[in-house]
Amino acid sequence: MAAKIFDKETILDLTVNIIPLGIIGFFVVVFAVYDPFGYDPLASAISFGLLLVPLVALAALTYISGKAIAGDEKRSEVFLAGQATVPGSQTLEEYEAQAEPDHEPAELTDDESAEDAETEPTAQNTDD
Amino acid sequence: MEINGQLALTVLMGVFLVAVAAWLTRVENWRSYTPLASGGGAYGQESGHAHEKPGGLIRWFTTVDHKDIGMLYGLYGVIAFLVGGAMVMIMRVELADPGMTLISNTFYNSLLTSHGITMLFLFGTPIIAAFSNYFIPLVIGADDMAFPRINAIAFWLLPPAALLIWAGFLIPTGDIIPAQTAWTMYTPLSAGVGNGNQANAGVDLMLLGLHLSGVSATMGSINFIATIFTERAEEVTWANLDIFSWTILTQSGLILFAFPLLGSAMVMLLADRNFGTVFFAGEGGAILWQHLFWFFGHPEVYILVLPPMGIVSYVLPRFSGRRLFGFKFVVYSTLAIGVLSFGVWAHHMFATGIDPRLRASFMAVSMAIAIPSAVKTFNWITTMWNGRIRLTTPMLFCIGFVSNFIIGGVTGVFLASIPIDLVLHDTYYVVGHFHYIVMGAIAFAGFAGLYYWYPIFTGRMYQRKLGKWHFWLWMVGTNITFFAMILLGYGGMPRRYATYLPQFITLHQIATLGALLLLVGGFIWLYNFIISWLEGPVIESGDPWNLKEDGLYTAEWEWFDRKLQTKITDGGEQQDVATDGGHESDESDS
Ligand code: HEM
Ligand SMILES: [Cu+2]
């Protein structure tokens, strides 16, 4: 189960949280090896606790939320955020299929014309 | 004096009891509908026109409809913003001149304290709750909040909280004067010891009010957690949950762990003040308060910034013509911020002389928490990159958010570095840092939301041109005011003083000038919103922003569209299908 949910795609999504975990891990090692302020049973214990508790908590939450989100992605249809209940909205797959192929060309040509059109009315009171 | 104070308290109590009595007259009414039904007589959702319907005002006191409660939160937040803004304008004018000219130093301290508390607890949290109450049930396809009545109670705790917090100003006697503790309420000053005037009852009332607002926030957060976990429509899986709901969910988790702690600490402080306990009196007492306060205080800043990040992540893609880049990065990094924000509190205490080993750990986690924030920033920028950008007013506020958040965030990372903080702590640099975030980002996102959803909650469109004036005055004003503060901090200007050395005069005057721009922009906004609400062009389609074109049409607009259709078919007032918060209500005053 877990093996299937945490595929390459999901791990990639989770890198955002793996980086802070890495930073905290880095400091754990630095403070253990370099130890600039000397050792004191109480203060050193608290100081490592202050690193390890967030580390463990973040790892746990990342795992749980990754499992929930990636699991639901596999179990059911995915829509763009906020659109799941809108009748007739595209699924994420359809959206991507439509957006990606003509991605580059469409964007480049559309761009400038879009700019000056858009700063103007189209946006706001189109229907007044 | 003594008599006067008691008299004023009696009157206050009387007003409160009358309000309760008025509410109780509706008691039969609230027994007669189920919790899922919308508020008694809640037809339509316009505020401000209550006089057109008999019993209209009572409706607002008794409603349990999430949309009505959202409107109440919004009104409350806006009023608090105007009050807090007026307070700070007096302060900024005083600071145009180095000496004590306009107001006394003690009155300056009172304003400083109330400005901070008002903006954070009475504007920030409520304005976020306005959006979350109104829109989250719509977006996740829930009938209403999980506990509609608790929702109403949570709101109605806030007005008395404001009265208590402002009591020192509202009750003009010698022994109830406004708190001058600053929003951090550091002991021993806030414990009322020594020869100062902070033993007065005004401080106790402020603490009680703050406590009440914390109770309200906690009730609200439990409600949101329950709603998002249990009331989602079937299609709205965790993978389909929108980003705003994710940030509210995370925020609610933070509130749940942070506010009760503040509440306990304040009860201890009240006991120290009134019952002779010595929690914060002995050796280490002052540092104990700081630990307790900041264990709440740092999560609080993320309680305030996460939902605005959610609003920007939600709105900005819709005017970039494409979906949010790296949606899941934004979700996971929101959760990461939620966890890590509990591990950084002592970066506010680097200068207190705590053990250097502990300090170093707090610095490390503070560096780590900057990553998720930076990731979001890159996501917003990438979303806009090469997008089909439409510079509407809400979009401008979103872009302003990103820009200001970058400056606020980068200055924050510098402060998180111990040696730099030791130089800059307690200077205007810190004030500049967090105002780039609270004003430049949080308030900007709030106003982005107000403009973006204006058609939904008023049924009308605001004046575009005034919206742009508002934005540019605020963008320029914010950057003038708070960049001047950053420079003042580099120059060594300490924070929380009504007077200063003549060498700082130019930068202070520049900051005051910027604040005046903010004031003008604020007036324009107020005028625009009121006048457009009364006579702006009526919205006739459920897609005023042309979101369908880009396939970015979302559930709350779809709900709005359905509402407009219903209105056309049955033409108005009478609604009999008022069985949920999602489908009834017509346009009022049309
Ligand atoms: C990028 C992440 C951030 C970092 C690393 C950071 C770091 C810091 C540090 C170290 C201080 C203490 C400065 C001092 O008193 O000497 C501070 C103060 C403050 N920060 Fe931030 N900050 C960050 C983001 C934020 C955000 C998002 C908010 C608001 C939502 C915020 C609001 C505040 C406030 C209100 C204070 C001043 C508290 C006071 O003393 O009254 N910061 N920040
Ligand atoms: Cu902090």
Could you count the other beta carbons within 10 Å of the beta carbon of residue A103?
Answer: 13
- B201 residue type, one letter: A
Chain B nearest-CA distance from A7, in A, is: 15
Give the pLDDT score at B11. 85
Give the Cα separation of A46 and B300 in Å (integer): 23
User: Which residues contact ligand 1 via a Cβ below 6 A?
Assistant: B 184, 301, 304-305, 347-348, 366, 369-370, 373, 409, 412-413, 415-416, 421, 425, 430, 433-434, 437-438
Closest ligand 1 atom to residue B116 Cα is 41
Q: Which residues pair with B427 in a beta bridge?
A: B494
B183: which 2 tokens? Answer: 């929003």
Whether B322 and A123 lie within 8 Å, measured CB to CB: no
Residue by residue, pLDDT tens for chain B (590 residues) are: 456 777 888 888 888 888 877 776 765 454 444 444 344 333 434 343 333 333 577 888 888 999 999 999 999 999 999 999 999 999 999 999 999 999 999 999 999 999 999 999 999 999 999 999 999 999 999 989 999 999 999 999 999 999 999 999 998 787 888 999 999 999 889 998 877 888 889 999 999 999 999 999 999 999 999 999 999 998 899 999 999 999 999 999 999 999 999 999 999 999 999 998 999 988 889 999 999 999 999 999 999 999 999 999 999 999 999 899 989 999 999 999 999 999 999 999 999 989 999 999 999 999 999 999 999 999 999 999 989 999 999 999 999 999 999 999 999 999 999 999 999 999 999 999 999 999 999 999 999 999 999 999 999 999 999 999 999 999 999 999 999 999 999 999 999 999 999 999 999 999 999 999 999 999 999 999 999 999 999 998 899 999 988 888 999 999 999 999 887 665 444 443 333 333 333 333 33
User: In angstroms, what is the span from residue B320 Cα to ligand 1's centroid?
Assistant: 30
**Which fold does the domain B65-300 belong to in CATH?**
Cytochrome C Oxidase; Chain A (1.20.210)
**A49 pLDDT higher than 90:** yes
Quote the DSSP letter at residue B35.
Answer: T
Measured in Å, how far apart are chain B's first and last C-alpha atoms? 52
User: In angstroms, what is the span from residue B56 Cα to ligand 1's centroid?
Assistant: 44
Residue A35's region, left for phi above 0, alpha for psi from -120 to 50, else beta, is left
Exposure b/e, B558-585, CB count within 10 A at least 16 = b: bbbeebbebbeeeeeeebeebeebbebb
Task: Please check whether residue B545 is in contact with residue A121, taking contact to mean a CB–CB distance below 8 angstroms.
Answer: no
Exposure b/e, B48-66, CB count within 10 A at least 16 = b: eebeebeebebbbbbbbbb
pTM of the model: 0.85
User: In angstroms, what is the span from residue B349 Cα to ligand 2's centroid?
Assistant: 10
Give the pLDDT score at A68. 92
Give the pLDDT score at B27. 57
Give the Cα separation of B108 and B233 in Å (integer): 51
Query: In 3-state terms, what secondary structure has residue B144?
Result: coil
User: In angstroms, what is the span from residue B100 Cα to ligand 1's centroid?
Assistant: 29
Kindly report the three-state secondary structure assignment for every residue of B235-301. CCCHHHCCHHHHHHHHHHHHHHHHHHHHHHHHHHHHHHHHCCCCCCCCCCHHHHHHHHHHHHHHHHH
Chain A nearest-CA distance from B149, in A, is: 26
Q: Which residues pair with B538 in a beta bridge?
A: B460
Among residues B248, B229, B382, B386, the alpha carbon closest in space to that of B309 is found at: B248
> H or E element: which one contains B94?
helix B66-94
Query: In 3-state terms, what secondary structure has residue A37?
Result: coil
Please state the φ and ψ torsions of residue B65, each to the nearest 5 degrees.
-75, 130
Among residues B458, B477, B588, the alpha carbon closest in space to that of B524 is found at: B477
Give the Cα separation of B516 and B575 in Å (integer): 47
Mean of the pLDDT values across residues A22-45? 90
Chain B hits for A100, Cβ within 8 Å:
none
Q: Which residues pair with A79 in a beta bridge?
A: A91
Q: Look up the ipTM and state it.
A: 0.80
Closest C-alpha to ligand 1, atom 42: B434
**Nearby residues for ligand 2 (ion, Cβ within 5 Å):** B 298
Of B323, B464, B551, which has the smallest distance from its Cβ to A124's Cβ?
Answer: B464
